[in-house]
Amino acid sequence: MKIITGLGNPGAEYAKTKHNVGFMFVDALAAKLGVTEWKDKFDAKIGEGRIGTEKVLLVKPQTYMNDSGRAVGPIMNFYKLEPEDLIVAHDDMDIPAGTIRIRKKGSAGGHNGIKSILAHVGDEHFSRVRIGIGRPLPGWTVVNHVLAPFSEEDAPKIVEAINYLIPAVECIVNEDVDMAMNRFNPKKQKKQKKTVQPTEPVKAAEAAAPVVETAGEGTAVYE
């Protein structure tokens, strides 16, 4: 069995905020799996479904973001699951809105919900499905940013990211997180060297002579 947890804050006033993109993901996955019944247990809303032959619990902690582990930890203990059986979907300010990253372990990276789960689970070896929400606008605090809804420009990117991640999470469940990372994480573009074309035909003697290049114009600039 696997636990798929989306992080967010309970209450209608938070439903469409950036901090609730984890809830949005779990709701979309529930719709895909045909999960319509939610039970209130362990300070969370829990739905049961299947991905392939694997039973999954869809979990939305109702403890507020900073205490997410208070719901996740007891669920893990009750079902006697290992950290590797946990998948957590959450927002990430460090990547652009609509960008995704899948990780198999790591620190909290400043995310209080992940920090709480680490404290209650006691192990960093659980999968994270990160959905980018971008950095705050100039003059905005982090709190203002994460508790605001997505802009008209970013909202479609988030929907696209969530739809892209549903098969990624299915891959984690059916195969493993390494396969999902390899298949779904954005690929880094290969750096290409600029080819300098001679402006005049090169004489045979010049072509035979070694060419010494110096740094300066024509040096490749990498992103």
Domains of the chain: 2-184 (3.40.50.1470)
Q: Round the CA-based radius of gyration of the chain to a whole number and report it.
A: 23
CA–CA distance, 8 with 26 (Å, rounded to integer): 10
pLDDT at 108: 80
Output the CA–CA distances (angstroms, integers) from residue 192 to 178, 187, 188, 195, in the order listed.
27, 15, 12, 9
All residues at 6 or more sequence positions from 177 whose CB lies less than 8 Å from its CB, including other chains: 102, 104, 127
Q: What is the pTM of this model?
A: 0.82
Choice among 19, 90, 120, 145 that is catalytic: 19
CA–CA distance, 155 with 15 (Å, rounded to integer): 13
Helices (H) and strands (E) in the chain, counts: 7, 7
Tell me, yes or no, if 19 is annotated catalytic: yes
Q: Of the candidates 80, 59, 82, 83, which has an alpha carbon nearest to the alpha carbon of residue 71?
A: 59
pLDDT tens for the chain, 223 residues long, are: 999 999 999 999 999 999 999 999 999 999 999 999 999 999 999 999 999 999 999 999 999 999 999 999 999 999 999 999 999 999 999 999 999 999 999 888 879 899 999 999 999 999 999 999 999 999 999 999 999 999 999 999 999 999 999 999 999 999 999 999 999 999 876 655 555 555 454 444 444 334 333 333 333 332 3
pLDDT at 191: 59
Kind and range of the H or E run holding 177 = helix 177-184
Task: List the beta bridge partners of residue 4.
Answer: 58, 87
* Secondary structure (3-state) at 86: strand
pLDDT at 202: 45
pLDDT at 107: 84
